[in-house]
Copies of this chain bind each other. A is one copy, B any other.
């Protein structure tokens, strides 16, 4: 293979496609929510996951206040809601879920807001935090995990069509691009961000 150099500003895109999760958190009457693609498991036992967040996000500040948060998985049919969550700020919307037409329900163990439309959710408490350059890796201990009938031992991908985030490149109008495992590409035009 003949390779050429990739600029450091594009390295994260080599990891595409990635399934975005949505991080949700409640604190002092506010509901924060943001898409997070830098999110992965970190340990089997205890069950730990890590999500890397830019500390400038309102959602990050709410997590520090509440010390608990949730991870939500939505079907590709909700791609435009995921995009909207990424484009509006918690500074303007005290309840970001209702602002984009999603429904908050209370978690079983944490009373944290979960997304009722989600196919799977993790309730986590902050276990540790590591600063990593521009981001902070929040390590969460999973204290409750729940999923719809579309997940048993594994996902049933005939029912769950995961949104596969592929970047924001596009001809003409810039869009968030999601691929699916069914060969379909969904483009959601950028509204708020450049």
The answer to whether residues A4 and B132 also contact, given A40-B15, A155-B166 and a CB cut-off of 8 A, is no
Cβ of A26 within 8 Å of any chain B Cβ, yes or no, is no
Q: Are B134 and A44 in contact, CB atoms less than 8 angstroms apart?
A: yes
Instruction: Point out the residues of chain B lying under 8 angstroms from A120, CB to CB.
Output: 3, 6, 14
Copies per complex of this chain: 2
Could you give, for residues 1-19 of chain A, a 1 whenever the CB lies within 8 Å of some chain B CB and a 0 otherwise? 1111111111111111111
Instruction: Point out the residues of chain B lying under 8 angstroms from A133, CB to CB.
Output: 42-48
Q: Are B12 and A44 in contact, CB atoms less than 8 angstroms apart?
A: yes
Picked from B3, B46, B154, the residue with its CB within 8 Å of the CB of A167 is: B154
Instruction: Point out the residues of chain B lying under 8 angstroms from A12, CB to CB.
Output: 41, 44
Instruction: Point out the residues of chain B lying under 8 angstroms from A11, CB to CB.
Output: 41, 47, 49, 122, 142, 145
**How large, as a class, is the contact surface on chain A?**
35 or more
Picked from B14, B52, B155, B182, the residue with its CB within 8 Å of the CB of A145 is: B14
Q: Which secondary structure dominates chain A's binding surface?
A: mixed
The answer to whether residues A15 and B19 also contact, given A39-B40, A135-B42 and a CB cut-off of 8 A, is yes
Instruction: Point out the residues of chain B lying under 8 angstroms from A147, CB to CB.
Output: 3-4, 6, 14
Chain A residues proximal to chain B, CB less than 8 Å: 1-19, 37-50, 52, 73, 116-122, 128, 130, 132-135, 137, 139, 142, 144-149, 151, 153-155, 157, 162, 164, 166-167, 169, 179-183
Q: Are A10 and B137 in contact, CB atoms less than 8 angstroms apart?
A: no
Give complex CA distance A145, B3 in Å. Answer: 9
Picked from B3, B15, B130, B179, the residue with its CB within 8 Å of the CB of A181 is: B179
Picked from B1, B3, B132, the residue with its CB within 8 Å of the CB of A139 is: B132
- 23 examples of A-B residue contacts, CB within 8 angstroms: A1-B116, A3-B148, A4-B149, A6-B147, A10-B145, A11-B41, A11-B49, A12-B41, A13-B151, A13-B153, A14-B147, A15-B41, A16-B154, A37-B40, A40-B40, A42-B133, A43-B133, A50-B52, A130-B137, A154-B167, A155-B167, A179-B181, A183-B183
